[in-house]
Structure 1
Amino acid sequence: MPDLLVSPFFEVSMPEHKVSSLGITLNAGKQRISKIDFENLINLLNKKKVINSFIEMRQGAIVNLSEKRQALHTSLRDPSPEAPYSGEVHKTSDKICQFAERVRNWKWLGCRGDRITDVINVGIGGSDMGPRAVYNALRTTRPEIKVHFLASADGVAVDRLTAELDPYKTLIIISSKSFSTLETLSNCKEIFRWLKNFGFRDDDFKHHVVAVSANPKAASFLGLPDENFFPIWDWVGGRFSVWGAIGLPVAISLGENVFRRFLIGAHLMDAHTASAPIQKNLPALLAAFSYWNVENLGISSFCFLPYDERLTTLVPWLQQLEMESLGKSKTVKGNKVSEKTCVPVWGGHGNESQHSFYQFLREGTARTALDICWCEKPGHAHNDLHRVLLANAKAQAEALLKRENDDGCFNVVNTIVLDELSPETLGSLMAMYENKTAILGALLGINTFDQPGVELGKLLARKLL
């Protein structure tokens, strides 16, 4: 790789490099890169104009070349009237929040006049993982309105879910970008059958079902009025869509204030990404180290280790975000890539995983990149437990660097510390990883925003069915 000067890497040689912004501190001092290699790496990102690419994406450039589409998830969280599609985005955001508050204030009632106590989100992939991650992170211990997620076409999940819910107090959100996703439509039929078994008539469904889709015929397909329809758009990929109507269950359960603060945090991270120099740019640094580690150190996987119960569902969200976006073998020009574009993404609750797969990380025959994440301020009043949790997080950030033998297997570690897990900080954290992914795609010259490999499986499943 002629653009970089590669130094010996078997000792941690990166001087402490801390960057803080928006309540998030990245410490990259445990990366295996020398000062001169780091400078060359930053020069490479500047040479590739990755920040310019991000800015152009944010302004509405056609970046999804295979589908000839924009990628404007950033507009969903941009309060500026100058942002692309701001009119329809803000109109939809207002509709989301107004509907959520009607449900929360008992003004939207079930067909018998019951208040809504539970929401079932029927959707898979990007229609499931984003809202699931946000709900798990920000929900209270006893939410007034609980959200349940139904993703896979598995009758056990349907039975276990419906057995504990009162259909007359339940709102169902059917989320599908195309409204042709096999699993979602199949689960929709089962949920409708459940309602009919309780005596629901056709006119009752409008009190209990809403649709979220880029297909304008979704509501009429379900026999619902237009007010039960919430639009999304083909210029936002599913895995980037929690900021819009896909986030409806979050707004209903957590409220307008929390949802809008979540969007504000993400927007502030977008502004940071577009303006901060790469040496102090959180997403750009994460992308730079990811690129370096794979191309120069032979890192074979990326492991996300949150030491906080609220952040555990970010693991599958990150899996889809990075592996669906970066799992490509061709450049945007259709040529075969010359570099590794993605590694497997995995992880789990850091403290629990110490008693599960840390043996592999400490003494296994692999090279792994780790992001160890914790919150300085706990989300509870059990101070002794928090002290134990943080002691483990900080100890493992050191222990996972050390090996008994210099056998060429090792870990590289980032620590990502949140001041606290507020709606704003969560929005910033998730946008940070989204922007990291977009910057990596620009650096590698691939299309971050399509997923052609997913479509073949869908086609074959339909043929077999």
Structure 2
Amino acid sequence: MSLRVFSPKAPHFEEVSAERSRLYEFARRVRCGEWRGCRGHRIKSVINIGIGGSAVGPQCVWHALRPAVSDIDIHFLSAVDGVLLERILSSCEAKSTLVIVSSKSFTTRETNVNADAVDQWLLENGIVGADRAKHIVVVSANPKAAEIFGLPEENLFKFWNWVGGRFSVWGAIGLPVLIGLGEEIFTEFLRGAEEMDRHSLSAPVLENLPALLALLEYRNAVELDVGSLCVLPYDERLNMIVPWLQQLEMESLGKSSDIDGKPITHRTGLPVWGGNGDEAQHSFGQWLREGTGSTAIDVIWPEIPGHRFAPHYRCLVSNAKAQCEALVTRPCASDKFNVLTALTLDALVPRRIGALMALYEHKTTMLATLFDVNAFDQPGVEYGKKLSREVEREVVSERRHEECSAV
């Protein structure tokens, strides 16, 4: 919450406020054309290199709030996949591209591989040495990140070790969104989250939205043996909320031991899945209504459309409301059921997106309290990274052995 408060009484206010000012100033310079590439070209493309919390949060916000036509294209290079890399690079010109390398530790293998590849692309286009500083900035909690990447210290935008990656979009990790949307919209996004923070801390339990969602999911997981949480947004702009929420809840609550290290014998949260609600009606909607499992379902839609096509909105919202009824009306002979929650927003504006994402953050940390687990670590992820490095070293060693044998 400290990343999105505006009160001097808040923890870490001075350092957060100072870094936010740096971010705003840098984004302003890029947007107005004051910050240019090394050959004087205005920045027209931004490539955000990062994975997990360094990608899915800002990608979710950008997808929700981006204009139909943007002066600056924002690309997210997350997976270490050459196809994705090639597609992004082929749509950018090096001379007018800004690269943001985002990594909390600056040791994430996928991010480093992608960053090296994009750096090589800049080199191939004549951007080398000191010229790189006009095309690359880094976002990290590692104070030596800029030095590691051969950049001046002022090219580092920092966040802190007390910020969990999947909770970090509100600060420097949100830089691509800030560049793409501007200071006013990003501030409204933060204000909406701050309003939800105050609500979560002060509202009575029966009126407290994140507490109610947390209690419902706790009962679904522990008492009712509900199998999963399916999220169905009825608005194109909310489609990325599903992968964002998958990481938020499943990485935070996917634990088998409590905070004292004792084994947990019950479920901690639910698997999260879903997709565009209208499309889901014609794919897995049949399974939800008449399948042999019990499912928790969140249906989300705004009451004001984000476009001028009235028939489309009328049809879409009618479908959303109809599905709310259909999905809880199971065949009489079935002992399975769905637990459905409808969340409506008055409009899908920056302040409401901030509030919605903060709502789910608070729900997740409240669930962690109920389950007695740490919402801010991810030992399984770290173990997977360790194994991947070991396997990669083995592959490299095997290839060198094969090359030597061939010679």
One-letter amino acid matched to 1:202: G
Runs (4+) of structure 1 exceeding 4 A deviation are none
One-letter amino acid matched to 1:94: S
After superposition, give the CA deviation of every residue in 1:98-120 in whole Å (9 maximum; x if it has no partner): 10000001000001111111100
Aligned ranges for residues 370-385 of structure 1 at < 5 Å?
A: 370-385=297-312
Paired position in structure 2 for 1:90: 17
Match of 2:295 among 343, 361, 368: 368
Q: Secondary structure at the match of 1:415?
A: strand
Paired position in structure 1 for 2:328: 401
Q: Quick check: 1:147 aligned with 2:78? A: no
Q: Quick check: 1:323 aligned with 2:250? A: yes
Structure 1, unaligned stretches of length 5 or more? 1-73
Paired position in structure 1 for 2:368: 441
Separation in 2, partners of 1:102, 1:316: 31
Paired position in structure 2 for 1:114: 41
Paired position in structure 2 for 1:211: 138
Paired position in structure 1 for 2:59: 132
Separation in 2, partners of 1:326, 1:270: 20
After superposition, give the CA deviation of every residue in 1:427-454 in whole Å (9 maximum; x if it has no partner): 0000000000000111111111111011
Q: Quick check: 1:238 aligned with 2:165? A: yes
Aligned ranges for residues 119-198 of structure 1 at < 5 Å?
A: 119-198=46-125
Q: Relative contact order: is structure 1 or structure 2 higher (C-alpha 8 Å, sep ≥ 6)?
A: 1
Q: Quick check: 1:461 aligned with 2:404? A: no
After superposition, give the CA deviation of every residue in 1:53-111 in whole Å (9 maximum; x if it has no partner): xxxxxxxxxxxxxxxxxxxxx00001111111111100011111110000001000001
Q: Quick check: 1:279 aligned with 2:206? A: yes
Separation in 2, partners of 1:179, 1:406: 55
After superposition, give the CA deviation of every residue in 1:3-42 in whole Å (9 maximum; x if it has no partner): xxxxxxxxxxxxxxxxxxxxxxxxxxxxxxxxxxxxxxxx
Q: CA deviation at 1:406?
A: 3.0
After superposition, give the CA deviation of every residue in 1:174-224 in whole Å (9 maximum; x if it has no partner): 000000000000000100111111111211110000000000111111111
After superposition, give the CA deviation of every residue in 1:128-162 in whole Å (9 maximum; x if it has no partner): 00000000000000011111000011111111110
Match of 2:155 among 223, 228, 252: 228
Separation in 2, partners of 1:185, 1:426: 31
Q: CA deviation at 1:366?
A: 0.5
One-letter amino acid matched to 2:14: G
Paired position in structure 1 for 2:346: 419
One-letter amino acid matched to 2:19: T
Aligned length: 392
TM-score, normalised relative to structure 2: 0.95
Match of 2:129 among 202, 206, 209: 202
How much identity, in percent, do the aligned residues show? 53
TM-score, normalised relative to structure 1: 0.84
Separation in 1, partners of 2:127, 2:87: 20
Separation in 2, partners of 1:247, 1:216: 18
Separation in 2, partners of 1:344, 1:154: 26
Separation in 1, partners of 2:333, 2:146: 61
Separation in 1, partners of 2:47, 2:75: 5
Separation in 1, partners of 2:382, 2:320: 39
Write 1 or 2 for the structure with the bigger share of helix: 2
The answer on whether the counterparts of 2:217 and 2:269 sit within 8 Å (CA) in structure 1 is no
Q: CA deviation at 1:324?
A: 0.3
Match of 1:104 among 31, 42, 57: 31
Match of 2:274 among 334, 347, 359: 347
One-letter amino acid matched to 2:367: L
RMSD: 0.7
Separation in 2, partners of 1:185, 1:296: 44
Separation in 2, partners of 1:79, 1:369: 36
Q: CA deviation at 1:249?
A: 0.3
Structure 2, unaligned stretches of length 5 or more? 393-407
